Amino acid sequence: MDLVNHLTDRLLFAIPKKGRLYSKSVSILNGADINFHRSQRLDIALCTSLPIALIFLPAADIPTFVGEGKCDLGITGVDQVRESDVDVDLAIDLQFGNCKLQVQVPVNGEYKKPEQLIGKTIVTSFVRLAERYFAGLEGTTVEKMTTKIKYVGGSVEASCALGIGDAIVDLVESGETMRAAGLVDIATVLGTSAYLIESKNPKSDKSLIATIKSRIEGVMTAQKFVSCIYNAPEDKLPELLKVTPGRRAPTISKIDDEGWVAVSSMIERKTKGVVLDELKRLGASDIMVFEISNCRV
Contact 45, 38 (CB under 8 A): yes
Kindly give, in sequence order, each residue whose CB lies less than 8 Å from that of residue 186, ignoring residues fewer than 6 positions away: 102, 103, 104, 105, 111, 112, 113, 114
HEC states along 187-225?
A: EEEEEECEEEEECCCCCCCHHHHHHHHHHHHHHHHHHHE
Q: Indicate if the pLDDT at residue 3 is higher than 60.
A: no
Of all residues in the chain, the percent with pLDDT exceeding 70 is: 97
Q: What is the DSSP string of 46-79?
A: EESSSSEEEEEE-TTTHHHHHHTSS--EEEEEHH
Q: Residue 297 has what pLDDT?
A: 80
Residues 122 and 251 in one domain: no
Q: What is the CATH number of the domain that holds 263?
A: 3.30.70.120
Residues 234 and 126 in one domain: no
Strands 11-16 and 36-37: unpaired
- Select from 90, 92, 84, 43 the least CA-distant residue to 63: 84
Q: What is the mean pLDDT of residues 28-43?
A: 86
pLDDT at 294: 86
Residues 172 and 286 in one domain: no
DSSP state of 160: T
Q: Are residues 58 and 120 in the same domain?
A: no
Is 296 among the domain residues?
no
Which candidate, 123, 102, 101, places its Cα nearest to that of 167? 123
Domain assignment of residue 275, given as a range: 225-290
Cα 55 to Cα 71: distance, rounded to the nearest angstrom: 8
Let me know if residue 77 belongs to a domain: yes
pLDDT in tens, 74-96: 999 999 999 999 999 999 999 99
What would the mean pLDDT of 36-61 be, rounded to a whole number? 89
Classify residue 74: in a domain, yes or no.
yes
pLDDT band at 1 (very low <50, low <70, confident <90, very high): very low
| Residue 154 identity | G
234, 252: one domain = yes
Residues 56 and 106 in one domain: no
DSSP structural state of residue 36:
E
Domain boundary residue, one of 192, 215, 250? 192
Question: How many distinct structural domains can be found in the chain?
Answer: 3
Determine the pLDDT at residue 6: 59
The chain-wide mean pLDDT, for the chain, equals: 93
Q: How does pLDDT run across 154-209, given as a tens digit for each residue?
A: 889 999 999 999 999 999 988 899 999 999 999 999 999 999 999 999 999 999 99
In a domain, 213, yes or no: no
Whether residue 66 lies inside any domain: the answer is yes
Is the CB of residue 44 less than 8 Å from the CB of residue 7?
yes
Residues 90 and 9 in one domain: yes
- Of 79, 67, 58, the C-alpha closest to 128 is 79
For residues 88 and 69, state if they share a domain. Answer: yes
- Whether this prediction's pTM lies above 0.75 is answered by yes
Chain Cα centroid distance, residue 287: 33
Q: Is 15 helix (H, G, I), strand (E, B) or coil?
A: strand
pLDDT of 4 above 60: no
- 106 and 188 co-located in one domain: yes
- Asked whether residue 295 is assigned to any structural domain, the reply reads no
220 located within any domain: no
Q: Are residues 7 and 64 in the same domain?
A: yes
Considering 147, 170, 204, which residue would you say is the last residue of a domain?
204
Both 200 and 68 in one domain: the answer is yes
As a whole number of angstroms, the distance between CA 171 and CA 137 comes to 20
- Euclidean distance between the first and the last CA atom of the chain, given in angstroms as a whole number: 39
State yes or no: pLDDT of 2 exceeds 80: no
Q: What percent of the chain has pLDDT over 90?
A: 86
CATH code of the domain covering residue 44: 3.40.190.10
**Does residue 161 fall inside a structural domain?**
yes
